Structure 1
Amino acid sequence: MTETENITRTVVKERDLRHAPEKVWRALTQKHLMEEWLMKSDFKPEVGHRFDLEADWGTVSCEVLAVEPHKSLSYSWVAQGLESVVTWTLTETGTGTHLKMEQSGFGSGQDRAYHGARAGWEQFLGRLEEVIAGLDDEDAQ
């Protein structure tokens, strides 16, 4: 294996949101809210929980790897030959939350998946922002 064959890439998307981390966390971890911006799932924010994300193009098999409420969430993302990890990091700011999403594990031969993820996460994050904006502030302070 040459050095270039061993290179992996990561999709990184960041947003500055005018909402408290607790409110952002709700949209990232409550099943009914996830379905509004991501995909239908049986998600639970518990390490070791296995869940599927279902879309019209297929199923993503996942397992929760790490949970730090209101701060970080990580899960595996396995679909169509791609084995990757999605990590969400929430950092409280003076005006709300800095949200960072990283999907790592794209190999050199996975250009289609990499470019698809770059475009797909832009759409998902746009919908996530709409869902968060529509939440009331109860439990968010």
Structure 2
Amino acid sequence: MAITQIYLNLPVSDLEVSKKVYTAMGGTINPDFTGDTSAQVVFADAIVVQLMTRETFATFTKRSTSDGPIEVISALAAGSREEVDRLADAALAAGGTEPREAQDIGWLYNRAVDDPDGHSWELLAYHPAGGQG
């Protein structure tokens, strides 16, 4: 059986603020899987982020959800450098933070955005053949 989708489940401190950041980065809320303690954000048919209050998230694991070292940096590819800037700026206006300056290495352009809980996302545009992003 082949993998058909990726679901990222993230604990968040303030569900409403997190929903604003993730929709600003281009996601849409799926009301069928959204409630008072959890929200499903769809970026594409195969890319889904489930935001959960820390209390709800804790019901799915025995591990601590306390702040600790970063374990993953997720990335979303956009179609152009301009789209990366638009999405990053919108996420920042919605409550995200930018932990570092944009990177432009010719074939790859990216900006980092951390959500209010410190989950790190790279918004990127690239041309693997070496073209400009």
The structure richer in strand per residue is 1
The one of the two structures with greater contact order (alpha-carbon pairs below 8 A, sep at least 6) is: 1
TM-score tier after normalising by the smaller chain length: 0.3 to 0.5
Tell me the TM-score normalized by structure 2. Answer: 0.34
TM-score in terms of structure 1 length: 0.32
